[in-house]
A and B are shown apart, each in its own frame.
Chain A
């Protein structure tokens, strides 16, 4: 490397404000030409078109910088510190000359200083996002959705362009303008444009909600905890003149001690109102008192996954010896509003009859009360509920079974087992009598397959699996008879 020249060999002219593109182009050219930081001066020109020799377009390949360095540059360029470009170029120089990890050394004086500049920009952006206040422009006969809002804000640094996208994301459906002493930003619902500086006088007079906001601000303050220093640390006085609520601060601080003392000194008072004994008693009676009550709640609750026509409630007499719990309603069940009426339900009916179980005397329900599906053309294809969805619905199943109070609860398939056991258990290994954690200790459980499983089997396996299913149901029938004896 050559010895550093003692005189400034180049001057780079950049636009006022945050000239990121100008700086990027200059840095490329300077690095390409091997100009060390001591050999360059950065000057900011108010008049456009006076670019120096290392200005835009004078060559240099794109610099390959570590990601952290590339990310730091736009976070420092908006700073008002006149040394910002020189400091950034010094960083780039060192990073491209062997110190690739320089940014990790936060104890380095240059890195430390740049980090403080970027922190100041971060804070300035954050405060602009936080403390900017819109006022609505009153327009006669204005259509809904075309309301216009205007704000005036005075940032410390050249951050308007960096700050504006936040407001676009947040207030996309509104029309708004943000005016600052440096420039203005405008959103018309489709495009963001930047324009000349504005003035505070361009702001509309007041806004219908400002008084309400100030009321809220005053009320949410707790005089017993007054701590104005903490407030000023986060909301320095320089912001107050543009904050409608800040006008309330002096009076709040002045009155705080007296208000707080008054609260402490006031004797506890006796309640003047009579005890609402009836209402208090009625409050604890609000739980559903019957299966009908519970069903009314289920019926009016929206499905967790949107799409179902209606909730499919359990069916069968209270006090039934046997309760069968399936997975969730299918297409047919969803349309008819009754459980086990589709193909799987018909198969279940047949198997129950063969096993000598009276379907009409049993209680049939599902772990999940709403049909969940994906549309394929016009067909609604059943989709298995997730574990989270099963837990979401299991409170109802618990209560439902409490009301029905069967002697034996039969879980049909893995989802029912999950709902009743609170965890998944492989069916093949646990088929037969089973104690479910979520059922009262007195209620016996039983695990078998879901009839829809039989429908999905290839024909050659179907007969055997069906026979095994009917066998299970025979055991259920015998168990039920035993338990109700």
Chain B
């Protein structure tokens, strides 16, 4: 690889790394033909992990970090003094194919700063995807960041070649957008998301290909004063209205050459973690946004305990529940029991009566679950009601920095 290309790669990977999503999952299983390259597995593969603990699944780069927008939180805003570079379409295609052939990556996650116009930029992104699919028979994963300000027909075209399209909400409220991202328009973003959502559903029904791995978005946490409850309410709204597959929460992180309007301190990484847990409660545990808010304190989720535990501690009248008799819905409310553990309990108890050490083999969260469960050999008498239960179950403070 020649030095100019390596230099561009350094600049344009650095510029892209603040996007949290790197998922390569959800694409229909497929394999390239005899002359093509690549396959998708459905579940996705993480090919490496960097020392920040994040997975490297896709080659995540920008086509260019030149940008006409001036979003305060973004390292690539036009008023930033970072070094700039621009890949050609061919360079991105060539990098993707060669990294892929060495089994470094599952595919490409391509985004871009806005150059010339949103339409021009969107056309370039689509050209990369098209070239990979057509010229190289590439069957690996392609995630394109769509540009909501681009004409709707360009998004229609991008979905034909991408496995996933995404548009970042970035800031959850109109007021924050106006203050921190003046060129962005909340209504346009949601309109474009609705368009993508509608087309995904139609294409699935008609057995055509359009962004088959769904669409997703990212919100920045801690760059404005939006509460956790409000963030979760926004996510619930988006899951319902535009059929999003995932919302990614990205704790605002100090960037080189940061803007003066941003808060000085980054939010604790654990806040991001709690938001993901609350998001899972929405999607897999039948929690309503109201119940998540109920588990919070003035709209903010506790950092020392997970939101499901926080909810259970506030609703002790619902516990303890009998492992051998309780409905699935109720078991899902037990702290420490994941959806898979609940499925295993429900399957196993059809054939056997479960005792406490049986439950221990079905979940790794027994410590948290114990005070909320009843088995023939275990009754948490009084434990459920103890005032210091929270302290007993909280994660030790030294872990708080996630080191």
Contact = CB atoms under 8 A, between A and B. Distances in A.
Interface of A: 101-102, 104-109, 112, 126, 129-136, 145, 147, 149, 151, 166, 169-174, 207-213, 215-217, 219-231, 233-235, 243, 245, 249, 252-253, 256, 260, 263-264, 266, 268-269, 271-273, 275-276, 279-280, 282-283, 286-288, 297, 301-302, 304, 386-389, 391-392, 395-396
A130 B45 contact: yes
A263 B358 CA distance: 50
14 contacts: A105-B351, A134-B103, A149-B102, A151-B103, A173-B34, A174-B101, A212-B6, A216-B9, A219-B13, A253-B51, A268-B257, A271-B78, A283-B68, A388-B210
Contacts of B48: 130-131, 217, 235, 243, 245
B60 A220 contact: yes
Q: Which 7 A-B pairs have the closest CB atoms?
A: A230-B53, A286-B117, A388-B202, A107-B358, A212-B1, A271-B79, A227-B53
A226 B79 CA distance: 28
Nearest to B80: A271
Residue among A133, A174, A227, A268 with the most chain B CB within 10 A?
Answer: A227
Contacts of B358: 107
Interface residues of B, number: 92
Nearest to A252: B51
B310 interface: no
Nearest to B155: A395
A263 B13 CA distance: 18
Contact of A228 (B36, B51, B79, B118): B51
B159 to A, nearest CB: 9
B35 A234 contact: no
B199 A283 contact: no
A209 B102 CA distance: 8
Residue among B210, B350, B358 with the most chain A CB within 10 A?
Answer: B358
Interface stretch (B248-256, B278-286, B298-306): B248-256
B348 interface: yes
A216 B59 contact: yes
Interface string B354-370: 10001101100000000
B202 A173 contact: no
A107 B359 contact: yes
Given A107-B358, A130-B46, A268-B259, A219 B32 contact: no
Residue among A105, A132, A243, A297 with the most chain B CB within 10 A?
Answer: A105
A210 B103 CA distance: 11
Residue among B79, B137, B264, B354 with the most chain A CB within 10 A?
Answer: B79
B95 interface: yes
Contact of B102 (A104, A145, A213, A222): A213
B202 A391 contact: yes
Given A171-B37, A171-B103, A263-B256, 6 more contacts: A129-B41, A134-B101, A225-B253, A230-B49, A230-B53, A304-B160
A80 to B, nearest CB: 23
A344 B160 CA distance: 32
Contacts of A224: 253-254, 266
Contacts of A276: 68, 78
A63 B68 CA distance: 68
A213 B53 CA distance: 18
A108 B352 contact: yes
Residue among B104, B120, B160 with the most chain A CB within 10 A?
Answer: B104
Contacts of B6: 211-212, 215
A172 B52 contact: no
B364 to A, nearest CB: 12
Interface string B238-278: 00000000000000011111111000101001000000000
Contacts of A221: 17, 50-52
Contacts of A106: 344, 347-348, 361-362
A105 B359 CA distance: 11
Given A213-B99, A226-B52, A268-B258, A112 B32 contact: no
B38 A220 contact: no
A102 to B, nearest CB: 8
Nearest to B50: A221
A234 B49 contact: yes
Contacts of B103: 132-134, 151, 170-171
Contacts of B392: none
Nearest to B266: A224
Contact of A260 (B37, B54, B254, B351): B254
A54 B77 CA distance: 73
A212 B55 CA distance: 18
B361 A170 contact: no
A227 B54 CA distance: 9
A235 B18 CA distance: 22
Contacts of A391: 198-199, 202
A263 B266 CA distance: 12
A388 B205 contact: yes
Nearest to B98: A209
Interface string B309-348: 0000000000000000000000000000000000010011
B384 to A, nearest CB: 23
Given A107-B354, A209-B102, A282 B9 contact: no
A124 B260 CA distance: 48
B309 to A, nearest CB: 21
A203 B256 CA distance: 40
Contacts of A217: 48, 50, 56
A216 B13 contact: yes
A200 B197 CA distance: 49
Contacts of A107: 344, 348, 352, 354, 358-359, 361-362
